[in-house]
Chain A
Amino acid sequence: DIVLTQSPGTLSLSPGERATLSCRASQSISNNYLVWYQQRPGQAPRLLIYGASSRATGIPDRFSGSGSGADFTLTISRLEAEDFAVYYCQQYGSSPETFGQGTKVEIK
């Protein structure tokens, strides 16, 4: 199984700052089939990015994904109040589907 390791575990930032989240895979992910989800407290996850860099429907352009192979990044250009949440990566390049353990973005 592909293991996804997200870092840092927690990111403490202020509104308006830039957030950079990392997701590293234990092996290269086929076709960069990686997604990012956002989970706000008490809510279900929401798809942000698929195919490593394509924004899902309705996702603001302050969210961007990049990377390839085994190294991927989610960037939030300017944090807004509603962006403080937990973010998960998930790979769909090979079975079984696996998730990273999450990065919490908290208000500093």
Chain B
Amino acid sequence: DVQLVESGGGLVQPGGSLRLSCAASGFSFSRYWMSWVRQAPGKGLEWVANIKPDGSETFYVDSLKGRFTISRDNAKNSLYLQMTSLRAEDTAVYYCARGVRIFGVVFFEYWGQGTRVSVSS
């Protein structure tokens, strides 16, 4: 079975940094696009970033470019999201997802249970 387990969330002060991790199992991790999607409290879903199977290309929602970095380690079956200059509006549950990419755009086939990030002083 496909399993995606996020970790690394927590409480961080505005301006701080946090690194999220996602441990993948049950499939050939290095063959799939991977993504981060977030959900602010009581709100809808927002796509954050995608990364190509070999890690050579990354894509971000415009509003987050320059502050967040998606990366992966295929040897460790792991996906990461480095978040810097965090703001209150980054408070959300962050989901790791396995993507299906069609002509450059992705939908999300499997999701982890999410890790909660709270940005507050």
Contact = CB atoms under 8 A, between A and B. Distances in A.
Interface of A: 30-31, 33, 35, 37, 43-47, 50, 56, 88, 90-102
A99 B104 contact: no
B100 interface: yes
Interface string B8-38: 0000000000000000000000000000000
A47 B107 contact: yes
A47 B44 CA distance: 15
A47 B108 contact: yes
B105 A95 contact: yes
B105 A44 contact: no
A99 B47 contact: yes
Contact of B95 (A45, A91, A94, A98): A45
Contacts of B100: 50
A45 B107 contact: no
Contacts of A93: 105
28 contacts: A33-B102, A35-B107, A37-B45, A37-B108, A44-B95, A44-B111, A44-B112, A45-B95, A45-B108, A46-B111, A47-B107, A50-B107, A88-B44, A90-B108, A92-B105, A93-B105, A95-B104, A95-B105, A96-B59, A96-B62, A96-B105, A97-B106, A99-B44, A99-B46, A99-B47, A100-B44, A101-B44, A102-B44
A34 B51 CA distance: 21
A24 to B, nearest CB: 15
Interface range for B: 20 to 34
Contacts of B113: 43-44
A87 to B, nearest CB: 11
Contacts of A91: 105
A37 B46 CA distance: 13
Nearest to A102: B44
A99 B114 contact: no
Contacts of A47: 107-110
A104 B110 CA distance: 21
B107 A90 contact: yes
